[in-house]
Amino acid sequence: MSDIKHDSFGEKQIEKGHIWGAHTQRTYENFKIGTEIMPIEIIMAITEIKRAAAVVNHKAKKLSKENRDLIVDACDKVLSGQYNNEFLLPVWQTGSGTMTNMNVNEVLSSLTGGVCHPNDHCNLSQSTNDVFPSAIHIAAAQIIKYNLLPALKGLRLEFLRLAKENGDVIKVGRTHLQDATPIRFSDEFCAYATAISEGEEEIGLALKKLLRLPIGGTAVGNGLNCPKGFDRAVCKAVSRRTGLNFEPLDDKFFGLSQKSAITFTHSALKNTAAAVNKIANDIRFMACGPRCGIGEINIPQNEAGSSIMPGKVNPTQIEAFTQIFARITGNDATVTFAAAGGQLELNAYMPVIGYSLIQTARLLSDGVNSLCEHCVKGITVNKEKVQEYLDNSLMTVTALSPVLGYETASQIAKYAEKNGVSIIAAAQKFCDLPADKLQEILDPEKMV
């Protein structure tokens, strides 16, 4: 038999097997939209705020010791993950996230045996309007600090390892997907590492913005019904438990109405994803084959690539990441549009902003880890194929330009291509330089 609970609208029969309250039940029934539910990371971040608020409210003599202990115990139960099935509300709900905030309040109330009221105790000194954006910041900051940045560091170190191991290998450079002057493999791999490092730097700057929380602003930013020092005390409590140095945002009117910290963060995530996407595509090109493509590098063969062609293997990790980048690009447009759509004292796109940011951070973390572990770590250089291409390259002729002039060098290249001969053989048709001198000028080692 399901329970009957009540809220300000009256009584409501609760979905069988659940402990949430009437407000949550109404939302569950009225918003049957899509399959996307609020990310559990946001739920856990809201719960951390509730836990900290209970402790701070007791110190401010606004909450009894008994109620503090009951709420803290209830929060710990939720944070353990054993009640995740109580948080099933869709992303597509009220724009402030009130329904999810009340979902947490009501579950916590039930876990106190109904002793603590969802609004009067669990939501004491708070409003959805400051709790929900603070929770997004906390959730995203944790993913970035403990998942994404370590993943990016791991990928960067792998490229540096590859650069060190292949420092003596010279290959044909390519621009416009056409042969260009030689380049060291180490230069190519180091460029990848630098791209990742740039992303780490941008994301680090974004993380600093996320660490400033609008908690304590309550409904519109003026802190109504909130005790003095509540914001700083809650930030300290959350910091102790998360290992991140959260601080209260000075201008809470700004924090509730503007989402620039989130758009800045998402932009940094998108930029980094774009860099990794470019690298992934490079790897795909260099590894294409195995016999009829470029084939300069080998990537791990992890699984069968075709249901009809026996023995075919595809660059699946790369394809997975490029799809992730497509999703992140869409999320960036969503976050940007939603952030610009705020009105007066509130942004009413918070659930989709939070969902998009958390999904992007999670996908980028997992995608980088997977690409690194199942692809980049297993890359080997096909030195024989690299040397073959280098020996046949026409663009080493560039080194002859200062000696013979651009037009003569161009004629040499065209002759070599048309007649299928080496640049040295072609050069001897257009100048009187001896073969050993041409060999010296055209030495790829001197070009890199």
Q: Please, what is the end-to-end C-alpha distance for the chain in angstroms?
A: 77
Q: Among 251, 247, 239, 249, which residue's Cα sits nearest to residue 55?
A: 239
Amino acid in position 425: A
Task: Give the distance, in angstroms, between the CA of residue 396 and the centroid of all CA atoms in the same chain.
Answer: 40
Pairing between strand 247-248 and 297-298? Answer: unpaired
Catalytic, out of 306, 356, 410, 422: 306
Nearest to 96 by CA among 192, 249, 185, 214: 214
Torsion on CA atoms 147, 138, 62, 122, rounded to nearest 10: -80
Q: Strands, E, within 8-128: which ranges?
A: 10-13
Residues near 329 by beta carbon (within 8 Å), at least 6 away in sequence: 270, 273
The answer to whether residues 147 and 365 touch, using CB atoms and an 8 Å cutoff, is: yes
Active site residue 306: yes
Tokens found for residue 287:
């590894």
Report the C-alpha gap between 10 and 443 in whole angstroms.
86
Q: Which two tokens stand for residue 266?
A: 């998402």
**Nearest partner of 238 among 423, 75, 14, judged by Cα:** 75
Instruction: Decide: helix, strand or coil at residue 19.
Output: coil
Q: Which residues pair with 174 in a beta bridge?
A: 179
Backbone angles phi, psi at 183, to 5 degrees: -150, 150
- Quick check: 371 and 316 in contact, CB under 8 A? no
Q: What is the DSSP letter of 446?
A: H
CA–CA dist 138, 126 (Å, integer): 16
Catalytic residue, chosen from 8, 80, 176, 307, is 176
| In contact, 389 and 444? CB cutoff 8 Å | no
Where b means 16+ CB within 10 Å and e means fewer, 429-446 reads: eeeebeeeebeebbebee
Distance CA 208, CA 211 (A): 5
354 by DSSP, 3-state: which? helix
Q: What is the DSSP letter of 283?
A: H
Catalytic residues: 176, 306
